[in-house]
Amino acid sequence: MRFLLASLLTLTVLTAWAQKGILVTNLRCENQANPLGIDVAQPRLGWQISSSARKSPIREIEQQSYQILVASTPEKLAANEGDLWDSGVVKSEQSVFIPYGGKPLESRRACYWKVNVKTMKDTEVWSEPASWTMGLLRPSDWSAKWTGLDSSFAWEKPKDVFTRVAARYFRKEADLPKKIRKATAYVSGLGVYELYLNSRKVGDAVLAPAPTDYNKRIFYNTYDVTNYLKQGRNALGMLLGNGRFYTLRWGYKELPEIAHYGFPKMRLQIEVTYEDGSTERLISDESWKVTAAGPIVANNEFDGEEYDATKELSGWETAGYNDSQWLKAQLVSVPSQVLESQPTPPIRVTETLKAQAIKEVKPDTFIVDLGQNLVGWARLHVRGPRGTKVTLRFAERVNEDGTLYLDNLRSAKVTDVYTLKGDGEEVWEPRFVYHGFRYVEITGFPGTPTVNSLEGRVVHDDLPIVGSFASSNSLLNQLYKNAFWGIRGNYRGMPTDCPQRDERMGWLGDRAIGSKGESFVFGHHDLYAKWLTDIEDAQLESGSIPDVAPAYWKMYSDNMTWPAAYIIIANMLYEQYGDDVPIRKHYPSMKKWLTHMRTKYMKDYIMTKDTYGDWCMPPESPELIHSQDPKRKTDGTFLGTAFYYNMLTIMEQFAEITGNSADKREFAELAGHVKKAFNDKFLNRDRQFYSNNTATANLFALAYGLAPEELRSGVFEQLVERTTVEHKGHISTGLVGAQWLMRTLSDNGRPDLAYRIATNTDYPSWGYMIQNGATTIWELWNGNTANPAMNSGNHVMLLGDLIIWMYENLAGIKAEEPGFKRIIMKPTITGDLTSVTSSFESFHGRIGSEWERKGGKFNWKVTVPGNTRATLYIPATDQKAVREGRSQASLAPGVRFVKMEGGNAVFEVTSGAYNFRVK
């Protein structure tokens, strides 16, 4: 059977059986992209239902019931024997997140399953079979020991400010005396590892495992290694890099203290089953050998990797290698005994970019332009004498003279060094670093490099691309492309703030509302569910939540706007995916945080504490990072109180979901007090604006429902006037205000103003970034002129709700019920836009919206996935003017007219593909 990892947290089967034109496909089993290591006691299952016809797909496909069979062998499943679980016929529309309800699943258990679905048309359809395998569920399942060497080597500088620690090479040989039926490897290497068996690297992941707070939990990965091993003598090798385990800086006063966990270490357990049914384990222990005298002489994610090919340990991962000069490995301890299967897809090299140009800017200094700001590393092609050192440095920009612009990288050295072995063409790329860059400086190259001497390797969490967006406006399309590159480049087992300088942290505030926009582009469910665990792991006993998670920087500034991402993202996972488990899992922790903030900082129902405010709003002077003008800045007390109120309203919903009715009443009562105090303090009733009348202040009063109903139009007019008159139709918010700007303008009747902001090309705007050469999103609106201490060229925080607006407003794709079980499709027709083509792969299937207006006509192609319904808003003055296919829309199959509303004919449609036309 052929499998494809299709979404974070999902295993997908590509084929299915069709009966009467209906397919049941994309079977999913919860918890991680590696189906061999599921360690959830009750995995949740799901599937999609669709029509097999492409030209005229069947409409009105709705599930009436399902029956799940889970068997211990493929043969039993084929015989319809669900010896592990037979759900029986369950009358339900649910087709996602159905918890396994059979016999308790023990470690290593292989589970084979399929589902029978009955639809409205009395059609029963069996899916093809799928499978998953349980991981190691108990500590007693592990025989392998944590192995390492808790000391440094003479050539290392582990206590330098710029730490220099070499890669660790571990090896062992083992005899396997019989023919092998199956072999599974369970492996973790800290900070990052590569596993080699008989000279072959296992798998295609890089920078594994995903990062965590290693004091709280550690991840392992699972691989089928049957084809890597052989009867007879086998060589096992582990190569360890530092990652985030060994500190990147030691005693560096210019940064917060970076967490340090120790020297690299590993744990490996390979379980072998022979053809005769007997078993054997190969484990890490003190019988292994270790050295750091290999070619990777230093690796540091901020500073780069140094590789000396003259020191290569040729054949170290093959049987028969002489390791007599290697040291004996030690049994070592690790910060946490919690070892879990990695819940996120692996990081991979997903793309290779060719160099677009190369220029010699001074003798022996060449600058390569890859044409795109990317995250990853360079692959070098070179020939030359043994001992020649080629140095690569990385940057996002160049100076006017063509040399690298490095000021914005702060202390990060971003330098890779390759020493040639002098053996024909040599091709090299690093293993244990990553850079954020567009330009690469080459020095020391033997001869003259060309555009073929270097390639860009794109590296990130290998999340599925689930969305697409294109329009008639080329600037919008480029903006979407810039966002795409910026978002995916900052996925590194956690959502990071930037990939280039000495930071690369999981700042909570950067990804709050933005995570919802990202969900339309990438299938990031598992990544953000994992990140919520990182946040709870970092929470102090007092309830305080840090500014970054994992808490590699110990920053607990106790503000509302950044930690609010904890609750906002849990709500996003529920709204966009229909998953309430993160809410249930983290509810006590979220409540603890709100209690902490209330008891320590709330006075008379006003939240008196906020740290960052509306971070990075456009300043009054181009060289400033932060505005010094009080009229531009939104009061922190205002923001803290508004955010606290919003958290209470979300927690009311969470309390209902989790069955905490008393909490729901308490949250509602407290919210009422906060709302009254907020309006008493911040609302200017006579002039109908909030605080000092910044766009951000009025935005949050509207978006969070704090403004009294009778004053909402007045407050909105103040927002519009401030934007159009004082700021001349430009954005005036920072990352906090931008989270609600585009939708609030559109939802209150000014989509034209939102469109103008989106398509501006002068400062400050996203288009200004593009006009000045940006291929990702800047950290600052004035990122080309501000102090270089903070002008990252690859941030996503200023995107705000722009991507949400593109999908929900311009394309008109929005969840009416959690997980898109019910969909609202209401495209915004504004500005000079003549067309939008967009799609989104929800857990129920593909949602498509493709509209065009031309010559007084409006055409709209709509796709609604199986087992869902959609409410469509079609611009028309009369429902009879709307046609679907060859008939009046209200008479078409699967279509029901509902009402006329606000210049739209409103229809409800079942699943299917539709083509609407309006004259």
pLDDT for 509 beyond 80:
yes
Cα separation, 423 vs 385, whole angstroms: 8
Instruction: Identify the H or E element spanning 477.
Output: helix 474-489
**CA separation for the pair 234, 237 (Å, rounded):** 10
Q: What is the pLDDT of residue 123?
A: 83
Peptide bond into 209 cis (omega under 30): yes
CATH of the domain at 447: 2.60.120.260
Question: Is residue 856 predicted with pLDDT exceeding 70?
Answer: yes
Q: How many domains does the chain have?
A: 5
Q: Report whether pLDDT(768) > 90.
A: yes
Q: Indicate whether 13 pLDDT > 60.
A: no
Active site residues: 503, 779
- Select from 66, 100, 133 the last residue of a domain: 133
pLDDT at 20: 57
Mean pLDDT to the nearest integer, 628-651: 96
More confident: 57 or 609: 609
Q: Name the β-bridge partners of 912.
A: 864
So what's the pLDDT on residue 787? 86
C-alpha angle 761/835/797, rounded to 5°? 45
Question: In angstroms, rounded to a whole number, what is the distance separating the alpha carbons of residues 883 and 424?
Answer: 68
Domain hosting 524: range is 467-810
- Residue 773, Ramachandran bin (φ over 0: left; ψ between -120 and 50: alpha; else beta): left
Instruction: Identify the burial level of 328 via C-beta atoms within 10 angstroms of its C-beta, where 0-12 means exposed, 13-18 middle and 19 or more buried.
Output: exposed
d(CA 585, CA 581): 6
Q: How many other C-beta atoms are found inside a 10 Å radius of the C-beta of residue 1?
A: 11
Asked if residue 354 and residue 334 are part of one domain, the reply reads no
Q: Which residue has the tokens 């008989």?
A: 198
Considering only CA atoms, which of 343, 297, 283, 307 is closest in space to residue 147?
283
Average pLDDT over residues 122-151: 95
Strand (E) positions, 733-856? 814-815, 822-825, 835-842, 845-854
Domain with residue 115: its CATH number is 2.60.40.10
Q: Is the dihedral of CA 539, 540, 546, 549 positive or negative?
A: negative
Q: Write phi, then psi, for 488 (nearest 5 degrees).
A: -70, -30
The residues that bridge with 740 in the sheet, in sequence order, are none
Please say which residue of 308, 323, 344 terminates a domain.
344
**148 and 106 within one domain:** no
* 367/507 same-domain check: no
Quick one: 36 and 111 in the same domain?
A: yes
CB 41 within 8 A of CB 102: no
Q: Confidence class of residue 675 from pLDDT cuts 50, 70 and 90?
A: very high
Q: Residue 558 maps to which CATH number?
A: 1.50.10.10
pTM: 0.96
* 772 plus 844 within the same structural domain: no
- Do 657 and 693 fall into the same domain? yes
User: Can you give the pLDDT at residue 21?
Assistant: 79
Backbone angles phi, psi at 148, to 5 degrees: -175, -155
* Phi, psi (rounded to 5 degrees) for 429: -145, 150
Please answer whether residues 738 and 746 qualify as being in contact, where contact means their C-beta atoms are separated by less than 8 angstroms. no
Tokens of 226: 């049957």
pLDDT digits (tens, 9 = 90+) for 462-503: 999 999 999 999 999 999 999 999 999 999 999 999 999 999
User: What's the CA gap between 611 and 615, in Å, rounded?
Assistant: 9
| Co-location of 478 and 436 in the same domain | no
Residue 70 sits in the same domain as residue 159: no
Task: Residue 728: count other Cβ atoms within 10 Å of its Cβ.
Answer: 10
Q: Tell me the C-alpha distance between 766 and 760, whole Å.
A: 7
Among 810, 836, 862, residue at a domain's last position = 810
517 and 450 within one domain: no
Cβ-proximal residues to 465 (8 Å cutoff; 6+ apart), any chain: 521, 522, 523
Q: What is the pLDDT of residue 1?
A: 26
Residue 10's pLDDT is 38
pLDDT-based confidence at residue 32 (cuts at 50, 70, 90):
low
Is the model's pLDDT at 57 over the cut of 90?
Answer: no
- Asked if omega into 191 is within 30° of 0 (cis), the reply is yes
The residue to which tokens 């384990």 are assigned: 281
Contact 802, 521 (CB under 8 A): no
Q: Give which of 725, 726, 794, 804 is closest to 758, Cα–Cα.
A: 804
Cα–Cα distance between 84 and 72 in angstroms, integer? 6
Residues 6+ apart with CB under 8 A from 44: 29, 30, 96, 97, 98, 99, 100, 581
Does 366 lie in the same domain as 319? no
- Lowest-confidence region among 8-17, 366-375, 452-461: 8-17
Are residues 910 and 822 part of one domain? yes
Report the percentage of the chain scoring pLDDT > 90: 92
Q: What is the pLDDT of residue 270?
A: 98
Mean pLDDT in residue range 783-796: 92
Measured CA to CA, the distance from residue 801 to residue 597 in angstroms comes to 26
Q: By three-state DSSP, how is residue 143 classified?
A: coil
| Spatial separation of the C-alpha atoms in residues 96 and 646, rounded to whole Å | 29
Give the bridge partners for 367, in sequence order: 359, 441
What φ, ψ does residue 173 adopt, rounded to 5°? -115, 150
* Mean per-residue pLDDT of the chain: 95
392-419 pLDDT per residue, tens = 999 999 999 999 999 999 999 999 999 9
Residues 733 and 632 in one domain: yes
Strands 415-419 and 602-603: unpaired
Question: Is the pLDDT at 18 greater than 70, yes or no?
Answer: no
Q: How far is CA 565 from the centre of its chain?
A: 14
Nearest to 564 by CA among 647, 452, 472: 647
Report the distance separating Cα 457 and Cα 449, nearest Å: 18
Q: Is the pLDDT of residue 17 over 60?
A: no
Provide mean pLDDT across the span 259-269: 98
Q: Which residue has the tokens 């092998």?
A: 180
743 φψ region: left (φ > 0), alpha (ψ -120 to 50), beta (else) = alpha
Residue 193 in this model has a pLDDT that exceeds 50: yes
Structure tokens, 246? 């060994």
Q: How far apart are CA 758 and CA 479, in angstroms?
A: 9
CB 516, CB 544: distance < 8 Å: no
- The kind and range of the H/E element at 679 are helix 661-682
* DSSP symbols for 540-590: -TTS---SBSS-SB------STTTTHHHHHHHHHHHHH---HHHHHHHHHH
More confident: 805 or 2: 805
CB 64 within 8 A of CB 91: yes
CA-based angle 115:528:96, to the nearest 5?
15
